[in-house]
Amino acid sequence: MIHLLFTGGTISMQRDAAAGGNVPAHGGEALVALAPGIERIAPFRIEDWARVPACHLGPDRLWSLRERVRTVAASGEVAGIVVTHGTDILEETAYLLDRTLDPRVPVALTGAMRTSSDTAWDGPRNLRDAAAVAASASSRGQGAVVVFNGEIFAGRTAAKTHATNLAAFSAPHAGPIGRVDDGHVTYTATGEQRAAPVEPEGLGARVALVAMVVGDDGRMLDLARAEHDGVVIQAFGSGNLPPGAVPAIRRWLEDGKPVVLASRCPLGEVTPSYAFEGGGARLVAMGVTPAGPRTPSQARMELAIALSAGVSYGRS
């Protein structure tokens, strides 16, 4: 049996003329009825956990969702779990689940870029594909994955890289790990070493994400410092930033608050090789931590998980 956990998002929406746009409309029963064929994949049960846009989910609700998924996975009653989710922050949820849950029970997250009011609605295909992934014996041990437009991405690497395209998700630092073709699940990436799950008791750490701009003087970093436990800086290129921001970074470190350095480039990662003032090498020497193969949003979630669990950033 697979567990279909519906949280809302575009996949649940339709256009409402009175509201002036797309709004939540469909619950789990309606979505399953609109995606015929799931019953041929595996027996299933439906849970309407929520019906909200993804951008309405804050840390507390994300943690509640994580706890619900953990409880279902630990029950021993299901072979896999499907989570339908809005795409706006689906990458944060996928990262959270992949980094904090036992990978033996697969969790397939999916959504849609079109609503049921649109002619090219991608919801039914994505839902069927996610069900196939959750039900597949080959998914056991893969942990949380994102299933979108026929591709499978590891939850710790998936990112939304296009605002409107049906192929909205990719993995800039890794690539897809599999595909779904006519219900057949194939994994092409195997044997990757997984980091051990981190198990915080909640997601209470407050982590800022501050993007550098030309001529940055560190003012936004200083404003964020009092209200946050750590910060991810979205720097230029391979990890460089304006020298005017360096004193503000030093103040974060002097307060004992971790600073993680990510790149604003969609491909590649921070490589601390520049030793000029504001260069990545100088920043790392100060105590700043490179983000590794993570997007800024993934780096922020990793730091929030680590701080909430009382472990070092990116601990294996």
The full DSSP string for 143-169 is: -EEEEETTEEEETTT-EE--SS-SS-E
Tell me: do 18 and 87 sit in the same domain: yes
Please report which helix (H) or strand (E) contains residue 308, including its range: helix 296-309
Residue 131, classified by CB atoms within 10 Å of its CB into exposed (0-12), middle (13-18) or buried (19+), is buried
Tell me: do 6 and 138 sit in the same domain: yes
Portion of the chain with pLDDT greater than 90, in percent: 94
**Residues in contact with 20: Cβ distance below 8 Å, sequence separation at least 6, in sequence order:** none
Give the least confident one: 14-23, 54-63, 190-199, 213-222.
190-199
CB 309 within 8 A of CB 198: yes
- Give the mean model confidence (pLDDT) for residues 62-70: 98
Tell me: do 163 and 245 sit in the same domain: no
Instruction: Read off the pLDDT band of 149 (50, 70, 90).
Output: very high
* Strand, coil or helix: 303: helix
Instruction: Read off the pLDDT band of 314 (50, 70, 90).
Output: confident
Q: Is 119 a catalytic residue?
A: no
Tell me: do 43 and 183 sit in the same domain: yes
| Host domain of residue 281 | 207-309
pTM score:
0.96
**Residue of 10, 84, 157, 289 marked active site:** 10
Tell me: do 135 and 33 sit in the same domain: yes
What's the pLDDT at 276?
A: 97
- Give the mean model confidence (pLDDT) for residues 87-97: 98
Out of 153, 187, 221, a domain closes at 187
Tell me: do 253 and 170 sit in the same domain: no
Out of 187, 220, 246, a domain closes at 187
Tell me: do 182 and 225 sit in the same domain: no
Out of 187, 217, 249, a domain closes at 187
What CATH code is carried by the domain that includes residue 134?
3.40.50.1170
Tell me: do 27 and 60 sit in the same domain: yes
Q: Is residue 192 part of a domain?
A: no
Q: Are strands 230-235 and 207-211 parallel, antiparallel or unpaired?
A: parallel
Tell me: do 177 and 227 sit in the same domain: no
Q: Is residue 157 part of a domain?
A: yes
